[in-house]
Structure 1
Amino acid sequence: MKTEEAINIIKEHGHKYTNKRREMLDIFVAEDKYINAKHIQQSMDKNYPGISFDTIYRNLHLFKSLGIVEGTEMDGEMKFRIACKDHHHHHFICESCGDTKVIDFCPIEEVKKYLPEVAIHTHKLEVYGVCESCQQA
């Protein structure tokens, strides 16, 4: 997802457009990996000195509820990335740098074979490890 798409989603749902929200979205688009709220705050502090964690978390919650960002828990903290909207896929997530790689394989049909009596509404597969770059470092 690009910044303009995310801004349109915010406006379509009746929320206010602000420069702070744009900058947060720009950070997600530029990073294109899982990052934590502290990283966002430090990046935004240059243009918005003293920006609070409360502001960051309020916007993260809004973005997540609108499907603009995806969240995952790593090392006991929530990390977020811009949502993927292209096609159905899953992710490998580097535990060291937060970088992600697309996994185009989806195991849901196999899972349904093992759970024939349940109604699966949605699913998310995340594979964690260490990427090539971090292994070499």
Structure 2
Amino acid sequence: MNLNEALNLLKNEGYKFTDKRKDILEFFAKEDGYRTASDLWEILSDKYPGISYDTIYRNLHLFHDLRILESTELAGEKHFRFSCGHEHHHHHFICNNCGKTKSIKTCPMDFIQPKFQGYMIESHKFEVYGLCPVCQ
């Protein structure tokens, strides 16, 4: 996913194009990793005095529902990042310090699924947490 794809998806789904939405998407397009609503608020509050966390969260959840953003929970707080746009199923290593991610090409479900005969697994999530080489 890139900025233009995200903006086109937003328009194609019938959502209004606003400067705030564009600025939010530009923020995530420039970031390499997961970021919080607070990170975003720090950037937007200069340009949009009085912007509320409610507005930020509403847009973050809209973008997540449209699969423009991915989310995870780190230290009890929701973090978001631009969708990888990978066509294939994959998971991530996530740095606990800077939020940078690295794709994991294998999926543990390949090994676990056979042990669940008769069960219907609807979804799963696998993330590995630690420190990236820069943060160590």
Answer yes or no: same fold by TM over 0.5. yes
User: What SS does structure 1 have at the residue aligned with 2:47?
Assistant: coil
Alignment of 1:56-135 (within 5 A): 56-87=56-87, 88-135=89-136
Unpaired runs of 5+ residues, structure 2, are none
Query: More displaced, 72-81 or 123-132?
Result: 123-132
Cα distance in structure 2, aligned partners of 1:55 and 1:130: 32
- Letter paired with 2:82: I
Cα distance in structure 2, aligned partners of 1:85 and 1:123: 18
Q: CA deviation at 1:7?
A: 1.0
Per-residue displacement from partner, 1:79-107 (whole Å, max 9, x unpaired)? 10011112321100011111111111122
Q: CA deviation at 1:68?
A: 0.8
RMSD, aligned CA: 1.2
Q: CA deviation at 1:110?
A: 0.8
Counterpart residue number, 1:42: 42
Aligned structure 1 segments of 4 or more residues deviating by more than 6 angstroms? none
- Letter paired with 2:41: Q
Q: State the TM-score, normalized to the length of structure 1.
A: 0.92
Cα distance in structure 2, aligned partners of 1:82 and 1:91: 13
Counterpart residue number, 2:20: 20
Number of aligned residue pairs: 135
Unpaired runs of 5+ residues, structure 1, are none
Cα distance in structure 1, aligned partners of 2:5 and 2:125: 23
Q: CA deviation at 1:49?
A: 2.1
Cα distance in structure 2, aligned partners of 1:64 and 1:84: 12
